[in-house]
A and B are shown apart, each in its own frame.
Chain A
Amino acid sequence: MKHMHKQTFGDHLFHFLNSVFFTLFTLLCVFPFYYLFINTISDNRLVGAGQINFLPQGIHLDNYLRVFNVPDMGQSLFITTARTLLGTVLMVLASGLVGYLVTQKNMYGRKIIYRFIIITMYFNAGLIPWFLNMTMLGLTNSFWGYIIPAVVQPFNIILTKTYIESIPGELEESAFIDGAGYLTVFSRIILPLSKPILATIAVFGAVGHWNSLMDSMILMLSEPKLYTLQHRLWIYLNTSSDIQKVMDQGRVTASDLSRLLNNRVISLTVAMVSIIPILLVYPFMQRYFQKGLMLGAVKG
């Protein structure tokens, strides 16, 4: 083994510096979330004074129990959950079905149809025409404004089409010989076999719905009941002093105020409430990233 590389001092130094860099960068990515978290479970007076920095002190979960007393918080949590569930399910089913249909060689106008869908990835009418169009279709100030436009996404269609093309055709053919229709083949054969790619789409779709801010801000102007969680959080971060006033007048007593109410804590807790679901599903999502990204590199 003459060519076997011997570990030199340079190698050790390289590994040391490399490890230090990656450890520091990873800490930089993780610490803010940890910091946010310990600030929401610690004694609120210490938090208010900026005294909680590395370790939680005076641990309590009151903030999480009381965050739902913040005006309209529960409502926006409900709206966001509803749109995430419904929007993701519809998006996944539509992506699967459209992806399957465009692989069917004997469809009328298949090539044109596929291009008609995919080309929309490359142009964009712009914000104002989009908004005016949504107004014209009556989707402003309506829950469906969140759901319907997101159902067909060209990028997802590329993903499902590419994936379904890789499924052996024999399965389908034997089902057709047994007299099954297109929809039966889709629901019994294609859908179960495409689980990995549909899971990828579901992950990205759900994160997109959960994190959405702009459509709530632009479309739901006069319907605060439909504001998403991110929109609420954004409002709190901007007007945290105003919330304090609202809460002063309302559901929270004065003694609570001194102990609990600190606009900093409210904002951080609301932020944490909307981060937690993502962190919870994150380990499950992780294995689908790579697949989705690699398939995405395949062009339509």
Chain B
Amino acid sequence: MLKRFPRDRVAMIALRVCIVVTFTAAFVPSVNPARVAGLINKNVSLFTNMISTASITSGFGRALNQGWVEPTTLGLIFIGALVCGLGIALLGAAFCLSLGNMKLQRLGLMFVLGAALAGFTGTTILRSAYSLLYDSPRVDMIQPMMPVGNMVFYILFSVTLLAAAAAWFVLPKPKPGEKYSIAPKYRLFLMILPFLVLVGLFAYLPLWGWRYAFFDYRPGFDLTMDDFVGFQWLRYLFENPATRRHIGKVLTNTLAMSGIGIATSWLPMVFAIFLSEMRSGSFKRSVQTLTTVPNFISWVLVYSVAFAIFSTEGFLNWMLVGIGVIEEGTNWLMSGSNIWLKMWAWGTWKGLGWGAIIYIAAISSIDQQLYEAATVDGAGRFKRMWHVTVPGLLSTYFVLLLLGIANILSNGLEQYLVFYNPRTAASIEVLDLFVYHLGLTRDGGNIPLATLIGVLKSVISVTLLFCANRASKWLRGESIV
């Protein structure tokens, strides 16, 4: 055991673990050492406090005006957070150096010493800022508090320092004349590390927010274990009749619109097949170019196009009044009828030409000899399309179809948001839009319920994708993801 894990390696691994834990803690709001007063937002981490002064001062507007708190005290808090941040940064550097050769590792240990000193100083500054807050004439308004994070960071820095000290004694001495260097495999790892951190922060860390689905969370209050409600929101979803009805309606809209999309998903393929039957190359290219334009404009712009054409002064009314179908123009966008079909039509207008590109490319890679052979066998135009072109495209179509089925619950948000109005509300609200309304806009909001629906949706989508992948392997012998 000891032979396979030499002491110096064990010491370095222990040190790296300490560093990673301390580094991560800087991003966790509940152990923020700089939250020395109740007026500081409890949802921000040490990291946020040290990159923006506003994250500290924003809650103190009234307190500053009334002179309950000195601006210098707030400045002191910021400096404390900054010094702590310096310690965190030095720890990060030490981590990188610990991947180098002996000489570099020793330099890294010196960095840990510097980091610990900065950390101790920073937490001490924050503690003195805390005691200064008690001089305030309105202590009850300022609510000074000794954050648990302050102690946590003190301990984390101490433990890391101890680990570094232990490593200092067990690391072999560098040979005289040895130069600083890092093995290529670690050098490459360090180069990609910042990007991995970004992926972790923006793709993995949000998963931590799934816990809100199991708490009775109200914005502005602490999330404590007292609020843990388990699956209460899940039961609420099914037991509350009003919610159940609303969700039922939303699911109907979602599945109906996805269903229409899937049922017509062969349109781009047919578009491409017929376009490739055109004889003039320049005609083909122009059609392809011009029908792709709508794909590149946003849904807001699609809406403004719709606004231009379908509003009261728009083109459609001018035409209909002109040919005498109607007497007076109306605003078609306010009409709530046939919303599913209208949404499908906008989606097709925007996406048909674009969707056809991949099939056009696939058609150009079909062997021309197949067509010649079919002609020799007496196949007419439609027979060639059906027996040569379509089979050549089915594989592509199949992949896109399976992905479409896997995404059946995700219609996207923007399209439905821009066309949403009181008249269209009932039949346009899809799951994504419902979550947005529920969590972020409706009065008070219901963050736990919105989170729970998001969680269910993600789980179902991943399962569907997995099944689609299986189906693809089974049918075509090839996976799609």
Contact = CB atoms under 8 A, between A and B. Distances in A.
A230 interface: yes
13 contacts: A25-B291, A50-B313, A53-B318, A123-B458, A125-B210, A125-B454, A126-B209, A126-B457, A132-B447, A137-B27, A213-B300, A213-B414, A234-B418
Q: Interface size for chain A: under 10, 10 to 19, 20 to 34, or 35 or more residues?
A: 35 or more
B148 interface: no
Q: Which of B308, B454, B458 has most chain A Cβ within 10 Å?
A: B308
Nearest to B192: A101
Given A19-B283, A218-B440, A127 B48 contact: no
A39 B304 CA distance: 12
Nearest to A271: B304
B188 A101 contact: yes
Interface in A1-44: 3, 5, 11, 14-15, 18-19, 21-22, 25-26, 28-30, 32-33, 35-36, 39
Given A19-B283, A128-B439, A271-B301, A122 B481 contact: yes
Interface of B: 27, 29, 43-45, 47-48, 51-52, 55, 184-189, 191-192, 195-196, 198-199, 201-210, 212, 274-275, 277-279, 283, 286-287, 289-294, 296-301, 303-305, 307-309, 311-315, 317-319, 329, 349, 352-353, 357-358, 361, 375-376, 381, 396, 413-414, 417-418, 432, 435-436, 439-440, 447, 450-451, 453-455, 457-458, 461-462, 465, 479-481
A239 interface: no
Contacts of A284: none
A286 B188 CA distance: 35
A135 interface: yes
A39 B208 CA distance: 50
A297 B455 CA distance: 29
Contact of A282 (B43, B275, B293, B465): B293
Nearest to A29: B291
Given A138-B48, A214-B413, A214-B414, A98 B195 contact: yes
Interface stretch (A62-70, A161-169, A272-280): A272-280
Given A128-B451, A136-B43, A107 B357 contact: no
Interface stretch (A144-152, A194-202, A249-257): A144-152
A241 interface: no
Question: Which 10 pairs, one residue from A and one from B, show the smallest C-beta to C-beta distance?
Answer: A126-B454, A129-B209, A138-B48, A50-B313, A125-B206, A211-B298, A120-B203, A271-B304, A107-B188, A108-B189
Given A14-B381, A53-B318, A211-B297, A113 B196 contact: yes
A48 interface: yes
Contacts of B185: 106-108
A125 B207 contact: yes
Given A32-B308, A126-B451, 19 more contacts: A3-B376, A15-B277, A49-B313, A108-B186, A108-B188, A125-B454, A126-B435, A127-B435, A127-B454, A128-B454, A130-B209, A133-B205, A133-B206, A135-B44, A210-B298, A211-B298, A211-B300, A268-B307, A268-B308
Interface string A199-229: 0000000010011111000100000000000
Contacts of A26: 286-287, 290-291
Contact of A102 (B192, B291, B458): B192
A35 B283 CA distance: 23
A89 interface: no
Contact of B198 (A5, A125, A148, A274): A148
Given A29-B294, A125-B210, A127-B435, A36 B55 contact: no
A271 B184 CA distance: 52
Contacts of B353: 29
Contact of A286 (B208, B289, B294, B413): B289
Residue of B29, B192, B205 with most partner-chain A CB within 10 A: B192
A131 B296 CA distance: 26
B396 to A, nearest CB: 7
Nearest to A40: B308
A279 to B, nearest CB: 7
Contacts of B27: 136-137
Nearest to A222: B58
B450 to A, nearest CB: 5
Contacts of B317: 50
Contacts of A135: 43-44
A297 B396 contact: yes
Contacts of B462: 122-123
A76 B297 CA distance: 17
Contact of A275 (B301, B314, B436): B301
A8 to B, nearest CB: 9
A230 B300 contact: yes
Nearest to A50: B313
A98 B481 CA distance: 20
The listed residue with most B CB atoms (<10 A of its CB), out of A39, A53, A128, is A128
Nearest to A203: B296
Nearest to B319: A53
A214 B318 CA distance: 34
B290 A125 contact: no
Given A126-B455, A299-B480, A237 B188 contact: no
A182 B191 contact: yes
In this complex, which of A50, A101, A130 has the most chain B Cβ atoms within 10 angstroms of its Cβ? Answer: A50
Contacts of A289: 292, 357
A106 B198 CA distance: 22
Contacts of B311: 264
B375 A152 contact: no
A4 B286 CA distance: 29
A152 B202 CA distance: 9
Contacts of A124: 458, 461
A179 B291 CA distance: 51
A260 to B, nearest CB: 16
Nearest to A107: B188
Contacts of B329: 50
A137 B457 CA distance: 25
A151 B297 CA distance: 22
A233 interface: yes
A101 B307 contact: no
A164 to B, nearest CB: 14
B198 A120 contact: no
